[in-house]
């Protein structure tokens, strides 16, 4: 079964470590100009970045799965409107989705799991609840909960599938609008975070000894440490404030 708790290959981990190491090394070297400290700090941040990158990759994978689930509900609603029961609608939906998504995509794998379990007499309500639990997606969990409530008790299955699809569509549209509005702000934040490092780097290497006091005395080290702590705090706050979730 697909595992939605991780979505990074060993190569992805290596790339995340390399990117984190390069950033950590550059920042510490600009503030301290101590090679061994920069290497250690780069290794620490590179390790942290593996987990951060993996978390981001999982979030992106779940967003893709939600979009794929939206297409599944759309195809199911059309098939059920034509009079097909949910099980047949799922088979019809797989035929439609295989034209859009590759065989190894998550939604195709899930559809194969769903139809396989249903053929072994597992109720669709239990299958959808299991899918929701493994995916960790609120939209799928909501659909599974509603379907479990009305399974075999209501003739409004088609309407419920369509309403669930519309709710997901509305949420996706709002998120796209937020992403569009935040895109410029995120770019500005990234520039504001990088610019101080660029200025410090230029001054330290082309300032004719202007920054030597920062790298040579105890007071200079304290000032550099204070500046580094402010930079780290700014970085964390910028990432938190620019990551809006519904």
Tell me if 246 is assigned to some domain: no
CA distances for 45 relative to 21, 25, 203, angstroms: 6, 9, 25
pLDDT at 72 over 60: yes
Q: Are 6 and 60 in contact (CB under 8 A)?
A: no
Tell me if 1 is assigned to some domain: no
Tell me if 3 is assigned to some domain: no
Tell me if 23 is assigned to some domain: yes
What's the pLDDT tens digit per position in 89-146?
Answer: 888 989 999 999 999 899 999 999 998 998 888 888 899 999 999 888 888 888 888 8
Average pLDDT over residues 64-91: 85
Number of domains in the chain: 1
The single-letter DSSP state of residue 13 is H
Q: How far apart are alpha carbons 76 and 57 in whole angstroms? A: 28
Structure token digits, residue 216? 């040579």
Structure token digits, residue 45? 């941040």
CA distances for 120 relative to 45, 115, 125, 146, angstroms: 48, 9, 14, 23
The single-letter DSSP state of residue 233 is H
Give residue 99's pLDDT: 92
Percent of the chain with pLDDT over 70: 92
Q: Are 87 and 132 in contact (CB under 8 A)?
A: no
What range does the domain containing 126 cover? Answer: 10-241
Tell me if 185 is assigned to some domain: yes
Select the more confidently predicted residue: 72 or 151.
72
- Selection from 107, 148, 74 nearest residue 115 by Cα: 107
Give residue 190's pLDDT: 81
This prediction has a pTM of 0.77
Q: Are 60 and 7 in contact (CB under 8 A)?
A: yes
Choice among 32-36, 70-74, 153-157, 237-241 with the minimum mean pLDDT? 153-157
Tell me if 4 is assigned to some domain: no
Structure token digits, residue 1? 């079964």
Tell me if 190 is assigned to some domain: yes
Q: What band does 208 get if pLDDT is binned at 50, 70 and 90?
A: low
Q: What band does 77 get if pLDDT is binned at 50, 70 and 90?
A: confident
Give residue 154's pLDDT: 58
Percent of the chain with pLDDT over 90: 23
Give residue 43's pLDDT: 95
Q: How far apart are alpha carbons 169 and 67 in whole angstroms? A: 9
pLDDT at 40 over 90: yes
The single-letter DSSP state of residue 101 is S
Tell me if 164 is assigned to some domain: yes
Count other Cβ atoms within 10 Å, centred on residue 229.
10
Q: What band does 8 get if pLDDT is binned at 50, 70 and 90?
A: low
Average pLDDT over residues 57-64: 87
Here the contacts of 153-157 (C-beta below 8 Å, separation 24 or greater) are 157/80, 157/86
């Amino acid at each position: 079964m697909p595992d939605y708790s991780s979505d990074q290959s060993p190569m992805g981990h290596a790339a995340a470590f390399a990117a984190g190491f390069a950033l950590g090394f550059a920042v510490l070297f600009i503030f301290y100009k101590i090679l061994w400290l920069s290497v250690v700090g780069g290794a620490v941040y590179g390790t942290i970045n593996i987990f951060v990158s993996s978390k981001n990759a999982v979030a992106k994978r779940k967003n893709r799965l939600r979009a794929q689930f939206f297409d599944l509900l759309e195809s199911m609603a059309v098939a059920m409107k034509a009079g097909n029961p949910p099980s047949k609608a799922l088979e019809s939906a797989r035929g439609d989705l295989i034209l859009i998504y590759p065989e190894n995509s998550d939604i195709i794998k899930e559809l194969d799991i769903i139809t396989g379990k249903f053929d072994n007499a597992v109720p669709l309500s239990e299958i959808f609840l299991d899918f929701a639990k493994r995916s960790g997606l609120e939209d799928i969990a909501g659909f599974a909960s509603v379907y479990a409530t009305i399974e075999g008790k209501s003739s409004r299955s088609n309407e419920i599938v369509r309403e669930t699809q519309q709710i997901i569509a509305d949420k996706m549209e709002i998120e796209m609008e937020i992403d569009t509005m935040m895109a410029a702000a995120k770019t500005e934040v990234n520039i504001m975070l990088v610019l101080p490092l660029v200025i410090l780097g230029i001054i330290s290497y082309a300032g004719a000894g202007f920054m030597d006091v920062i790298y040579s005395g105890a007071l200079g080290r304290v000032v550099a440490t204070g500046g580094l702590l402010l930079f780290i705090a700014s970085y964390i706050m910028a990432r938190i404030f620019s990551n809006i979730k519904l």
